[in-house]
Amino acid sequence: MKQIIGEPGIDLSSDSKMDLKLTRNSESFHKPNSSNHNLNSFNQASQYFPNLSPTNFLSRAENLQQNLKTKSTNSFEPNLNSGMATQNPPLDWDPHAMLSNLSFLEQKIHEVQSLVQSIIDQQAEFSSRPSELATRQQLATADLTCIIIQLISTAGSLLPSIKNTLLSNNPALRQLVNPDFNNNLKCEGLIRNFPETARNSEYEDLLRNLDNEADWMKEPNPLPQSDIVDANPIDEHDLKESDDGDAEREHLPPGSYIVLQLEKEEILAPHTHFCVICGKGFKRDANLRMHMRGHGDEYKTPAALAKPSKEPGSDVHPVTRYSCPFVGCKRNKEHKKFQPLKTILCVKNHYKRSHCDKSYTCSRCHAKKFSVIADLKTHEKHCGRDKWQCSCGTTFSRKDKLFGHVALFQGHTPALPMDEVKASGSGQGNDDMTEDLGGYNGNFASEECLTSMDVKGIDESRAYFSPMNFDGFGALDEFGRGGFDLEDNPFAFIPSGFGQRSGDS
């Protein structure tokens, strides 16, 4: 015992061998006293269950290794290591627990010692009362058994202390060396099948490999630079211009500004840069600047040709406002209450929104249509976010709005998130639901099935279950278990009751 504590399990093979010997001995010593026929047959049956072979263990370990590798290359997390540390179960070898176990054992041994001593002391008395001697002896035997078992388990908890951190990461390895965890039967099989030297060398290799893996993982991985940069370019459509450009707030007196009217084609041209003088549109600002040279010498200076700087132009343009080319529109200069548009962008948006087809359809709801692509994008951002739906089909962007609606109308309820959008009446929905039930798993009984079972089942069940049999409702059954032999087989893995019965009827 002390030897083990002194050198905590450096020689793995010898330790486990010793342990096995001990357990094997105590197993025979500690066999359940009621070993009958059933027991034996069962024992044989258990041998048919496949043992985990050592190759299995190794392949599992390799798998784990593989997993670690792929994981660390895929996810750029330098602190994988800390994550692993948290997964570790508490150390098996706790010196305090060990000490307490040992002192417990010591105490126990003293108890047995005094017990045996008392037997010796009172031997004369016992000769007259042999039964008492027997009970004392039984007590001593029981205590000794207890001590042996605990001794083995205590010793067993020592073994995994080598390479503890690694082992605790690998369940297969841990199992391999942890006898309190695994029964001796398996270990025995393992050692028989596996030459010790080979086992040791491969084992060490494995451990070393795992070590390397762990070191490698500790190094922080350089993050790929390309991914850091935010790949979201600023969308010019997102810069929302004030809607149709309210000139009315300015209250410019008529005549204090120039009114410019672009042609329809020009408005719809896919240009974004417009000449403030003639209104011609360009795709690129550079082209516009080239164009501007034709409007006078002031546009030919290097400053004007250079890229526009932030500071507002010092040169004063005449105040310009725009008119919509659509005759009859309030924004058309012929209109009695003409309200000019402020910028060219306003003209474009106004014209498209008011006088063009809505050709952009939302790809999510397929219902909303827009003529300005920016409007579509704005909508798409929120489309589908209206997850708060009422049973009447109305959707809401906010839960409290939906609940306000539900509170207001009799019979309306919030729709479940998983429900398909069925704007039709609730009756329709119910029918669908029952259809679903019929098909559920193939064996789900719908209502009709249930009733038919009932009618047929009564007579047959009377014959089958005697009226006395249900006492305590399936609990204590004093009249034997005749009625329920379907479930009496302790190893009937599938509770048969229902399948059987539905088959009958």
How near is the Cβ of 89 to other proteins at its closest, in Å? 5
Angle at 444 between CA 443 and CA 445, to 5 degrees: 115
SS3 content of the chain, % helix, strand, coil (to 5): 55, 5, 40
Between 90 and 224, name the residue whose CB sits nearer to other proteins: 90
How near is the Cβ of 163 to other proteins at its closest, in Å? 16
92: how many CB neighbours lie within 10 A of its CB?
A: 20
Between 6 and 90, name the residue whose CB sits nearer to other proteins: 90
Between 215 and 504, name the residue whose CB sits nearer to other proteins: 504
Between 34 and 225, name the residue whose CB sits nearer to other proteins: 34
How near is the Cβ of 350 to other proteins at its closest, in Å? 40
How near is the Cβ of 440 to other proteins at its closest, in Å? 6
Token pair 């059933």 is found at 38
Q: How far is CA 426 from CA 345, 393, 416, 417, in A?
A: 47, 10, 13, 16
Burial class (CB in 10 A: 0-12, 13-18, 19+), 323: buried
In angstroms, the CA 454 to CA 457 distance is: 5
How near is the Cβ of 182 to other proteins at its closest, in Å? 7
How near is the Cβ of 183 to other proteins at its closest, in Å? 3
CA atoms within 13 A on the CB side of 161: 19
Between 34 and 127, name the residue whose CB sits nearer to other proteins: 34
Which residues partner with 261 through β-bridges? 323
Query: φ, ψ for residue 388 (rounded to 5)?
Result: -90, 100
Q: Are strands 320-323 and 258-261 parallel, antiparallel or unpaired?
A: parallel
Between 17 and 412, name the residue whose CB sits nearer to other proteins: 412
Query: What kind and span of H or E run contains 388?
Result: strand 388-389
DSSP letters, 204-236, are HHHHHHHHHHHHHHHSPPPPPHHHHS---PPPG
Which residues partner with 323 through β-bridges? 261
Q: Which residues lie below 8 Å from residue 189, measured CB to CB, with a gap of 6+?
A: 51
How near is the Cβ of 361 to other proteins at its closest, in Å? 30
Between 381 and 385, name the residue whose CB sits nearer to other proteins: 385
Between 215 and 447, name the residue whose CB sits nearer to other proteins: 447
How near is the Cβ of 31 to other proteins at its closest, in Å? 9
